Amino acid sequence: MRPGCRGTDSRRIPVYGKAVTASPPDRPPLILASASPRRLELLAQGGLTPNHVDPASIDEAPLSDETPRLAAQRLARAKAEAVAARHPGAFVLAADTIVAVGRRMLGKPATEAQAVAMLALLSGRGHRVLTGVAVVAPGGKVAARLSESRVKFKRLTSREVAALLASGEWRGAAGGYRIQGLAGAYVTSLIGSYSGVVGLPLYETLSLLAGVGYVVA
């Protein structure tokens, strides 16, 4: 019962190893330009199932003197446009999440040592989580929003850092943690969008889709 929203045809087809739902014939498909299982789960939470998952493959390095806010917005748009070129006539949804301490951007740690350094930086202090969201409509119109949340961790003990590393949740996670995982136990405050910190702010996402003509309810 979910081609992209509730109450429609339930035909399901496998794409890239994932079960997705076919759109009704009168509506263009929805493409998720991300390989993140968390974003797929968040879309389902909002009542949406993309018809196709096609991750973008772009250079995610920040530009010289680029602020975290601008980087998150630029990368989300670049991902959406890159995938839209492969799917003309579809709605394409993309997002990019950046963890920032001041102007310093924390990407996804490549090694355990990098994860330790990031967790040490976040320990006992606040940081921002910025998630840019972009949608390309079938006619080429691009709409984008930015979600900014503030998160603060307790001061992490060496045992807690070791537990976070052992969990493996730092792999592929901006800032070296996942708030929906073990790290959530160490968050003392969160101001903003929880789903935005996970990786896809639902309110902004559903608003963007509705604004470009994709019926979500």
- Read off the pLDDT of residues 15-71 as tens digits, 9 standing for 90 and up: 443 435 555 557 899 999 999 999 999 999 999 999 999 999 898 888 988 999 999
Q: Looking at residue 9, what is its pLDDT? A: 38
Q: DSSP character for 5?
A: S
SS3 11: coil
Q: What H or E segment, with its residue span, contains residue 121?
A: helix 112-122
Q: Looking at residue 21, what is its pLDDT? A: 52
Are the beta carbons of 78 and 144 closer than 8 angstroms?
no
Residue in 26, 54, 65, 96 annotated catalytic: 96
Q: What's the pTM?
A: 0.85
Q: Which of 200, 78, 196 is nearest to 142 (CA)?
A: 78
pLDDT-derived band at 4 (thresholds 50, 70, 90) equals very low
Catalytic: 59? Answer: no
Percent pLDDT > 70 in the chain is 88
pLDDT(10) > 80: no
CATH of domain 12-211: 3.90.950.10
pLDDT(11) > 70: no
Measured over all CA atoms, what is the biggest interatomic distance in the chain, rounded to whole angstroms? 56
Q: CA-CA distance, 94 to 31, in Å (whole number)? A: 9
First to last CA, the chain: 13
Q: Which of 187, 215, 180, 152 is nearest to 39 (CA)?
A: 180
Mean pLDDT of the chain: 89
